[in-house]
Structure 1
């Protein structure tokens, strides 16, 4: 005789898998939605999402892959901001015509700092650990105020 599972049945097949199959979850992750956001959108408890991520390796790897795509895109844009880039903007000319204008976004120093502090941490971090070997001797001489006045 087989034992029946106790508790509520999993919502993975009814609430998660359909959105995974139709591309919604991928789209939401690429839009920057968090795990909690997505869990709420598909009407499951965020704790259940975490359990699915832990217990379903294929699901977890798929979600991580989508997040890697998003992170790669952001990293690329951060790099562009750090080095500067050209872009095209549409504007209205003095004659009332819509024209494309090529513009240049100058390098952003904060993006450069962020990039370097994270990619070359040992050189660019704010705090450096400095080790000094050897002995340090400090001589302290106390002077009596009365002796000083008599001199």
Structure 2
């Protein structure tokens, strides 16, 4: 019995698939690297749990790293910067000074974090539920009718002046 296209071209590359996902490639880019159509990639995700797991595992790692970097940037952090020079006598690289530097918290990162982690409290659009018995009658008018009404209002305003 002949091997399926998945078994022949993809199954042996699961470690690559995981690595590509970890490196931030999109599903479309991974499909291109495998020489398959993106639709085929999505079909393989449904049909082959090991393929889906390789994609998921790779993406999970990079997602966690990005989350950590975003949180670090949102909170601000300190780091040590080393000044290095070459020792003229020995030619060796030496550290001459260590300076503690500070990166201030980033408001944009904080807003992004809060909007995504606590959307009910931080999203721009607030959902408001109306629970009354107010009837609102909407009417639709043509552009000509709208212009006629505007002209009437202007006429009334001129008469009152």
What TM-score does the superposition give when structure 2 sets the normalisation length?
A: 0.66
Alignment partners' CA distance in 2, 1:133 and 1:47: 45
Alignment partners' CA distance in 1, 2:36 and 2:99: 47
Unaligned runs of 5+ in 2: 88-92, 135-155
1:114 counterpart residue number: 112
Higher RCO (CA-CA < 8 Å; seq separation 6+): 2
2:13 counterpart residue number: 19
Mapping of 1:1-151 within 5 angstroms? 10-20=4-14, 23-92=15-84, 101-131=99-129
User: 8 Å contact 1:82–1:108 — kept in the other structure?
Assistant: yes
CA spacing shift, 1:70–1:134, aligned 2, 3 Å: same
Task: Give the superposed CA RMSD.
Answer: 3.2
Q: How many residues align?
A: 134
CA spacing shift, 1:12–1:89, aligned 2, 3 Å: farther
Alignment partners' CA distance in 1, 2:101 and 2:109: 19
User: 8 Å contact 1:40–1:46 — kept in the other structure?
Assistant: yes
1:48-76: CA deviation from partner (whole Å, max 9, x where unpaired):
11110111123213322221222111111
What TM-score does the superposition give when structure 1 sets the normalisation length?
A: 0.70
CA spacing shift, 1:104–1:55, aligned 2, 3 Å: same
Unaligned runs of 5+ in 1: 137-143
